[in-house]
Structure 1
Amino acid sequence: MRRLTLVAAISVAGLLSPGTAHAADGVQGVDVSNWTGDIDWNKARDGGAKFAFVQASEGVDYRNQRFDAQFGGASAAGLLRGAYHFAQPHETDGAAQADFFVDNGGNWAADGVTLPGVLDVEDNPYKDKNGKNNCYDLSPEDMVTWIGDFTRRYRERTRRHAIIYTTTSWWKTCTGDSTKFAKNPLWLARWGTEPGELPSGWKKHSFWQSADKGPIVGGQNEFNGTESQLKALANPPAEVTVTGAAKSRKLYTITLKNTGVHPVTDVRLAGRTFGGQKVVKAGPGCSFSGTAVRCLIPKVNPGHSLRITIATKPAKTRGTVGVNVTVGSVELSLSAR
């Protein structure tokens, strides 16, 4: 399997090594909730904020009544914005809370300004009310299952990996320091002058919350990368996964699957047979002559696949035959004996 990136992919998992103190010229941002109240977003922007995370929901029965104003206000002021969900793992399964989150502000939009949604999992703040411990009375195994259910459903609904907000101590205690969520960007909460130790599942953090209050409104945060990389997290590149198979000496298939979040258009495939065989049929969207084949795929939508089939007529019954295929920067060699 090979991946063709039609727009240069940029890593957004973070560029600094664990425990590195934040740089003075880092990409600053904030996080807010209903408790933050009305916000002067232009002032926040002028104070250096480039992004904002806004609480959208909690459990399956709470939606931030100020969400629309806060989320829309951040965007109107020119900030990238993302929504977050405060988990209540003891109330329902993770998938149900992911659905509630997506339906109440946490959906991702391919508008270039919306960051992936956030799952906020941390110490239970309602121990006096719900009688649960810091891990909501879930075992590490059950907590990992809950988080997995939430993140899988969020990806099913949005095609994005949810960002996970947590602390290292909570993650170690309540998930057993699980390493199963490395694909999810980490938003690390640790108030102080440096991020400190990371949970074992991540080599780098993407965001760091360094304080709950500061010179900019709300919680104080930093993106672990450049502003262009932050924008790439909001607007990831189009991607196509390319696979191929030799079904027989006479039949070859190449499958293109859009694994990204944007449609891809005008994908070009070029192939040439080897081993003394000619192309007798190819498609869809292909032309051929002798040993050469060329295909133009007008469009592949996100989550969709297209299979190209190449039929050949070998000149001999023995020996290795096949076809070499190029799709963008991806090269495949399919052979049969």
Structure 2
Amino acid sequence: MGDIIYTTPVVRCLKQRFPDAEIHFLTKEQFKYIYQNNPYLTKLHLLKPRLFDTISSIKAEQFDLIIDLHNNLRTSIIKAVTRIPSSTYKKDRIHKWLALKFKWSRFISSKHLVDRYMDTVKFFGVENDGKPIDYYISKNYDIQELLPPSHHQKFITFIIGATHFTKRMPNNQIIEICRGINLPIVLLGGADVKENALEIKAALGDQVYDTCGSINLDQSVFLVSKAHKVIGFDTGLTHISEAFNKPLASIWGGTTPELLGVSPYQISDSLIVGIELPCRPCSKFGLEQCPLGHFKCMKNIPPDPIVNFINS
């Protein structure tokens, strides 16, 4: 999800450069929220269970060009079978592998992922407009239906979910950070972190309101858009928050923003939190456990910089 939100400037800049062109976007069903209300898009396509059916629908549209921003086996098959001219995002897999294997930072590109995506349309004369990423919320939800009265005015959103264990901070540290914050806190995440949220809520009481697993992504993004500040790990919702220029404390464990090229993009106030270790980063996308068993990359993060950033 984080990778997909960073494609939105490409779609926007393409449409601005070619206002009369049709621009379609293909993604998975679970990521439809990112593009379903995007005004720069002509049509949103969702991957079908059978790749052959997806290819058939692509052929039926009679496209002039494919911009491949994923560059995986599936998109390679689509390009080969449809024979539509294409421009493809360069993943730079070898340099990333060397950076992971030998922790040689000189192999890591300093370009943000957005700018690397934009390289696929440079030949078209398309330039980055320097504006933030885009997310268009489906509707103006009623905050009184989503949050208790104590959280209607000024609140902090803490995104405690992430796909993999090594991206998530232990509950005791989240609790310590929350205790230092002087505003109400809303916990955001999926059903997979519901037990974590219940433990955090039990320790902190009414200061914290738990929405994990009880609201959808679009509603979560709405709450982020109304928050005073945001705290989050390396996960899609944290990256989506950048669309609303909210002050963001971005916490990194086994992954690093440098390796992925996804530091906070075009927002005015952010704090990137992570500690230097010889074993870090241990992966590009996170792991189910610390390879060395100590998990120092998260456990050794001090709470004070985060608390001070949020309270300042």
Structure with the higher helix share, 1 or 2: 2
TM-score category of the 2 structures, normalised to the smaller one: under 0.3
Structure with the higher strand share, 1 or 2: 1
The TM-score with structure 1 as length reference comes to 0.24
The TM-score with structure 2 as length reference comes to 0.25
